[in-house]
Amino acid sequence: MNISSKSRSEERRRGAYLRKVMKRSEINAAIKWAKELLEENNIKLPPFGYWTMEDWKNRQPEIGTIKEVMLGWDITDYGMDKFEELGAVLFTLRNGSLEDSSVGTPYAEKLIILKDGQRLPNHYHASKTEDIINKGGGILAIKLYNSMPDGTVDLKSDVTVDMDGIRHTFAAGETVYIEPGNSITLRPHMYHLFWAKEGAGDLICGEVSSINDDNTDNYNAEDVSRFSKVEEDEEIIHPLCNEYNKVLGV
């Protein structure tokens, strides 16, 4: 879901949506890179993070929860066709259902893996509270903003945020750096724009949050799309969490 100020022209909005396609080869390359970085940092994925397409198809009767709560690989360029600048490799380790408390877990956990200098769009969540932890590799840089009553970005008021149990107040848009092992707690309606600090190396972040719903709870200050369409230019290494039904043929 996108929040656009009234001053944005229709031409700009149309232009941002002209291309929302990532090539499968780009996705596969990003997954291979992320797996190598995780191995270098001795971070292991659950079994389904390594399953082949044949594994996925053979285990159809077992994967209902994985599909329903969208566990697994999540690679996106946010529909902007500049993955090295704006994009991320994410992997959802645990999640639950907002409709059925018996499905999955009552919380979510992700890995967010960023190339040096790569960023996510400026966004907030209406219901999710999340703790973003620097797991290693580089330095997490983040800018914070409050949201206005109409959902747009508040560029003026100070932002108060908890970091490892200590409350801090920053000016709107001030850059905050999160060193390895440190974390920051982002509450609903708090805009956050974060990236791997340039020159500090590739970055692995952890996210521990309330239940995550990427289909309904992302409010962007930029004209982006949460999931990208895919051009199939080579075979799938691992399916993405938003395409299980499509690529598994169910």
How far is CA 118 from its chain centroid?
Answer: 12
What contacts 110, CB < 8 A, 6 or more positions away? 90, 91, 92, 93, 206, 207, 209, 212
**Domain definitions of the chain by residue range:** 3-22+74-231
- Fold of the CATH domain 3-22+74-231: Jelly Rolls (2.60.120)
Q: Check residue 17 and give its pLDDT.
A: 44
DSSP 150: T
Q: Check residue 34 and give its pLDDT.
A: 98
Termini Cα distance of the chain: 27
pTM of the model: 0.91
The Cα 158–Cα 174 span in angstroms is 9
Residue 57 vs residues 48, 89, 241: alpha-carbon distances, Å: 12, 23, 14
DSSP helix/strand/coil, 38 = helix
Question: pLDDT tens across 114-160, in order?
Answer: 999 999 999 999 999 999 999 999 999 999 999 999 999 999 999 99
Split the chain (250 residues) into runs of 10 and give each run's mean pLDDT.
43 45 96 97 97 96 96 96 96 96 97 98 97 97 97 98 98 98 98 98 98 94 92 96 89
Residue with tokens 């940092």: 41
Q: Check residue 21 and give its pLDDT.
A: 87
Q: Check residue 249 and give its pLDDT.
A: 78
